[in-house]
Structure 1
Amino acid sequence: MAFSALAACSAGPSNRPVIAVHGGDEESAQAAAPTGPREIPPLDEYDRNALDWADCTDATRLRMGDTAPAGSSTYECARVNVRLDAPSRPGRGTLGIAVLRVGTGASPLVVVGDPGGEPGTLKAARLAASLPASVLSTFTLIGVDRRGTGKSDGVQCVPDLARVGIVESDPASETQDALLEDIGRASQECVLDLENRLTAVDSWRTAADLEQLRDKLGVAHLNALGVGDGSKVLTLYASRYPDRIGRMVFDGAPDPTLDSQGVAESRAVAAESTFEAFGKDCVVRSCPLGADATGRFTALLSKLRVKPLRGNDFDLTPGTATVAVLAGLADRAAWPALADALVAAEGGDGAKLGDLIRSYVVERDDNPPRLDAGLITGCNDTVVRIPPERVATITQDWRGKHPLFGAYFARQLLSCGPFPVPQPAKVPQLTSAPPIVVVTTSGDPVTPQSGSERAAQALPAGIAIGWQGAGHSAIPVSACATAAATEFLVNGTTPTSGTVCPP
């Protein structure tokens, strides 16, 4: 999930999404919004035949590649036509959104993820293999490839050389010129290629897509699981359609209180802390990195700085190695593989580290590169553009304060510079809502725990469940957090806010 972090950090916090288009549906939703405390809504049965579902089991397993979960789950896929609603053509145009369903439950549970992470359809397929059986008998998981990602008319506009150049860029470089040139190429080509679609790929409109999906499914409330940045989309949904909030769980949530620079630095701090936890885990497991994971990693970067390891699609440079490590840190289950990949790179084999980020850089297993959608969504979600001269100063400062990842996150602040600046939407204030469970993770390098806690506090009835583990997302990794979320979703049992789950 490294590029979900990259895009969000370069774009900064998105508590002011772009271009509010107030259609009749939204206005009526606001007029009907209740006031005061809200009860957890009942579960509704959905219309299983509302969409043109077709079996897509083999195609979905192909998209997941070698990491497809074991088991006999079957998947069905469909498409939903939603309003494109570009700023230049408000309320007009259409866009195809890909959805996948798995499970036998009568109620839908929509799964929304990070724009630069694994598409929501695949995330739902994986969750179905690991969530408690009661979830799959109560709900049908509906994974959504949010606009611009996966099979939802996915955006793929960044030139291959520019995409590779962005990822290969060395965070320790004394000059930003090459990175700025690649970002400029990306912006120029995406503006030309996507035209009206470019400025319509954002979280504000993704929230409206979910409302159209809810309506098509024929249910009164949207039940949903948001992972990382997907939680921000659900927060916007709750603000726009408060009377349609169902049972919602946020598994990690962006900090709504910090500016772009603050968000980037908080992620640098969290990534350093997570790498420290990774190093301690190595010692406990007697992993091949030994007792000095930090020293071995920094030595590898120095070695790659002198002689990169050549690859078929991209080279293993200090930049790609850094992004690969961030991707590995975000996936707790991948820590053993990350340690093995670092040792292999020390020996001259960069393929294993490269595999950790290949899906972000190149088209793979019938999925478009994830960098493009993450970059565009992040830049459309913020009006902030930080001048290169200022970024250079920040980079120098963070290089000293956060030696492993500070320079990397600082340089991501350049990413939105040449992209069009959106006009901020006026987000309706959410003053009343049923309980929403926010699961935080102490070692989350993508949505740091402190920011997720503040996201819970900003909700009218936010309930924070803290997992003391590490990685991006606690469900289903933490049995404790998963049990609390399951009880809330299935039985409407509200957990105690402030509950702490062990590592």
Structure 2
Amino acid sequence: MRRVLAAALLMTAAAAGCSTVPAAEPATKSTGGIDTINWGPCTDIKRPDGEPPARQDASVRCGKLAVPLDYAKPDGEKIDLALIKLQATGKAKKLGSMVFNFGGPGASGVDTLDQAGKALTALRDRYDLVSFDPRGVERSAGVRCGDNAEMDRFTALDTLPVDNKTHQEAAQANKQFAKLCEQNSGKILPYIGTVNAARDMDRIRAAVGDPKLNYVGMSYGTQLGAVYATEFPKNVGRMVLDAPLDPTVTFEQRTLVQTRGFQRAYESFLRACVKNKCDLGADQTTADANVEKLMNQLTTQPLKVGQRELTQGLASTGVAAALYSEMTWPFLEQALSEALKGRGDGLMYLADSYTGRSEDGSYSTQMTSFPAITCVDTSERPSEAEIRRTEAAAMKISPLFGSEGSGGLCRVWPVKGSDQARHVNATGSAPIMVVGGKGDPATPYEWAPKLTAQLKTATLVTYEGEGHGAYLSGSKCIQGLVDGFLIDGKLPARGTTCPAA
């Protein structure tokens, strides 16, 4: 069961009136004095739980590219970006490389592309598929904030009840977390962020020998793509932005919109659950009440799971993790049913998948890279009163998912942020395809037309289904439109909609 679930969690990284976008011819070598990538065997790919070690495949290569730590000093200290390449498999003329960012911020592109490549066979027929760990992530000078025990304590914090004690504990935890990040990764913290990641991506484009960047960005990857198209509009090739973020939103707006998105997805899950006569309750109201009772009980009586405890905070994280894709709803139903009977293994596993915790107790940089990049990408530093107001409004929307959001941690972050990554326009770029899902909990649909409007060259395609991200959702309609654009240059007509898969 866990192997199937791990794969499902990972995947939550033909219309009339099409226009055509030509593909750029791939160059034969890198230009502009960019360092080359030394490709070799992949030796440290992290597979989902239960998967056997990766066998050596000559068509899958890993490498490193040196880039400036500080782009204001291009000849100064450098850091290495970790990359992966799945070489094109087809016999037809190759179209160059297709670069991916699967989201986050903080997700490892190296690990994710290794698995997601199985779902990208049509693209791989014509492109080398390339991804990377952005600066501050995993192998690319990944941000670390304390040891495994400290990460366990931070991720297990409860969000209920909402009282002064909870607020004080959260504030103290945020200060300690930020202090550890500065102690362990202080040198890299000022230089991560989306603008520098976009500059890195242009270096990757040159190093693989492409005159234009062909790119698929998912979730946070849509903001990275939008910033790239704004910073380097003439270098944009075929670009798809799936599950878009609106970079202009404030911490409060983002927290409230996402809380509503997860609550809607949770209610859809409950409706499907009771329709299939699940164990959570005879009707949606009863099922919701049973889950609420479970969460309240966990605040005082966590469930033992081996040497650990399933807290209310971890249980809520587990529920949220499973709402990213309809494929994981059956596992969420099973995990909640078991928890109501006193077994927390399923919810703990779901929570660990979200926080990047391995069975050996070690953590990826998923939970540390996220705030590091998020806080650098904005100058906003909310006051305590603003944080409490945001939390109160979020809790009214959903006691299960309501929280103070990222604002509390960014308030005490040790480096200043910049708003440069919040202003995008892509003026002068090639056409960009934006895909927004009506049932997306993490990047709600209302952000899709907003980003499309900000990008002067973008066209929006709407997906009517559930889940975070449409391209890997199983929708043949969306996959056909995206592949048609990336391979043949056929841009869908404005207003194109795909039904639920």
Partner of 1:270: 261
| Aligned 1:16-415 pairs, distance under 5 A | 40-45=21-26, 51-56=37-42, 59-60=44-45, 62-66=46-50, 75-85=60-70, 92-104=76-88, 106=94, 107-116=96-105, 118-131=107-120, 133-173=121-161, 174-175=163-164, 176-290=167-281, 291-292=283-284, 293-311=287-305, 314-359=308-353, 360=355, 362=357, 368-406=364-402, 408=403, 410-415=404-409
Q: Is the 8 A contact 2:255 2:405 kept in 1?
A: no
Structure 1 residue 312, shift from structure 2 partner: 5.3
Question: Which of the numbers 432, 444, 449 marks the counterpart of 2:445?
Answer: 449
Q: Is the 8 A contact 2:100 2:215 kept in 1?
A: yes
Q: Is the 8 A contact 1:69 1:126 kept in 2?
A: no
- Rate the CA distance shift 1:137–1:181 in 2: closer, same or farther, 3 A: same
2:111 aligned partner, one-letter code:
L
Q: Is the 8 A contact 1:162 1:182 kept in 2?
A: no
Q: Is the 8 A contact 1:63 1:367 kept in 2?
A: no
- Rate the CA distance shift 1:442–1:397 in 2: closer, same or farther, 3 A: same
Q: SS of 1:172's equivalent?
A: coil
The 2-side partners of 1:139 and 1:411 are apart by 38
1:168 aligned partner, one-letter code:
A
Partner of 1:433: 429
Q: Is the 8 A contact 2:377 2:420 kept in 1?
A: no
Q: More displaced, 222-231 or 171-180?
A: 171-180
Structure 1 residue 72, shift from structure 2 partner: 10
Structure 1 residue 200, shift from structure 2 partner: 1.2
Give TM-score, length-normalised by structure 2. Answer: 0.85
Q: Is the 8 A contact 1:151 1:367 kept in 2?
A: no
Long gaps (5+) in structure 1: 1-37
Q: SS of 2:456's equivalent?
A: coil
Q: Is the 8 A contact 2:425 2:454 kept in 1?
A: no
2:324 aligned partner, one-letter code:
A
The 1-side partners of 2:212 and 2:248 are apart by 28
Say what the alpha-carbon RMSD is for the aligned residues.
Answer: 2.7
Q: SS of 1:97's equivalent?
A: strand
1:307 aligned partner, one-letter code:
Q
- Rate the CA distance shift 1:437–1:429 in 2: closer, same or farther, 3 A: closer
Deviations 1:187-235 (A, max 9, x none): 1121122222111121111001101101111110000100100110111
Partner of 2:15: none
1:45 aligned partner, one-letter code:
P
Q: Is the 8 A contact 1:441 1:466 kept in 2?
A: yes
| Greater relative contact order structure (CA < 8 Å, 6+ sep) | 1
- Rate the CA distance shift 1:91–1:192 in 2: closer, same or farther, 3 A: farther
The 1-side partners of 2:112 and 2:25 are apart by 23
Q: SS of 1:109's equivalent?
A: strand
Structure 1 residue 39, shift from structure 2 partner: 7.6
1:434 aligned partner, one-letter code:
A
The 2-side partners of 1:72 and 1:130 are apart by 20
The 2-side partners of 1:364 and 1:440 are apart by 34
1:496 aligned partner, one-letter code:
A
1:40 aligned partner, one-letter code:
V
Q: Is the 8 A contact 1:116 1:371 kept in 2?
A: no
1:44 aligned partner, one-letter code:
E
Partner of 1:421: 416
The 2-side partners of 1:325 and 1:399 are apart by 16
Partner of 1:484: 481
Higher percent of residues as helix = 1
The 2-side partners of 1:312 and 1:90 are apart by 50
The 2-side partners of 1:286 and 1:244 are apart by 53
Q: SS of 2:115's equivalent?
A: helix
The 1-side partners of 2:451 and 2:118 are apart by 29
The 2-side partners of 1:308 and 1:227 are apart by 35
1:42 aligned partner, one-letter code:
A
Q: More displaced, 134-143 or 78-87?
A: 78-87
Structure 1 residue 403, shift from structure 2 partner: 3.4
The 1-side partners of 2:29 and 2:47 are apart by 24
Q: SS of 2:129's equivalent?
A: strand
Structure 1 residue 364, shift from structure 2 partner: 5.9
Structure 1 residue 454, shift from structure 2 partner: 1.0
Structure 1 residue 348, shift from structure 2 partner: 1.9
- Rate the CA distance shift 1:93–1:212 in 2: closer, same or farther, 3 A: same
- Rate the CA distance shift 1:113–1:367 in 2: closer, same or farther, 3 A: farther
The 1-side partners of 2:188 and 2:441 are apart by 30
Partner of 2:5: none
The 2-side partners of 1:249 and 1:308 are apart by 43
